[in-house]
Amino acid sequence: MEFCPECGKVLFPRDGIFSCDSCGYEKKVTEESKKEYEVSEKVNAEDTVIVTDDNVKTLPTIKVICPKCQNKLAFWWLQQTRSADESETRFFRCTDCDYTWREYD
């Protein structure tokens, strides 16, 4: 996964460019990154589906300090980003500035 260096959100490949829906950051998709990412329109039952809309307001919240704006409340979720025998990655998104960061156990 590619993350935006400006706001920390996930970058999605579109028309040969990784783009951030939040701040507008763009990065050209290279041949190297094409090998790393395969985009498929077809979703199998076993596939992980990443929700791309901004409706995170339904996620649980936690008291944690945002490293960007110092707000003290963030949405959080867990996602398996490494091998299955390792713990999940905890993601946070600030309720004020929408900055997203992650934390490993």
Alpha helices in 1-105 (DSSP H): 31-36
Is 86 an active-site residue? Answer: yes
pLDDT, tens digit, 9 for 90 and up, residues 83-98: 777 788 899 999 999 8
CA distance 105 to 7: 22
The pLDDT value given to residue 33: 61
Answer yes or no: CATH 1.10.1040.10 is held by domain 53-105. Answer: no
Q: Residue 57, SS3?
A: helix
pLDDT, tens digit, 9 for 90 and up, residues 27-41: 887 766 655 555 556
Residue of 93, 61, 91, 5 lying closest to 104 (CA atoms)? 91
Percent of the chain with pLDDT over 90: 26
**76 secondary structure, DSSP code:** E
- pTM of the predicted structure, to 2 decimals: 0.46
Is 21 an active-site residue? Answer: no
CA distance 83 to 38: 19
Q: Which of 86, 88, 96, 103 is catalytic?
A: 86
Q: Which of 8-12, 19-23, 46-50, 100-104 has the highest mean pLDDT?
A: 100-104
Domain ranges of the chain: 1-44, 53-105
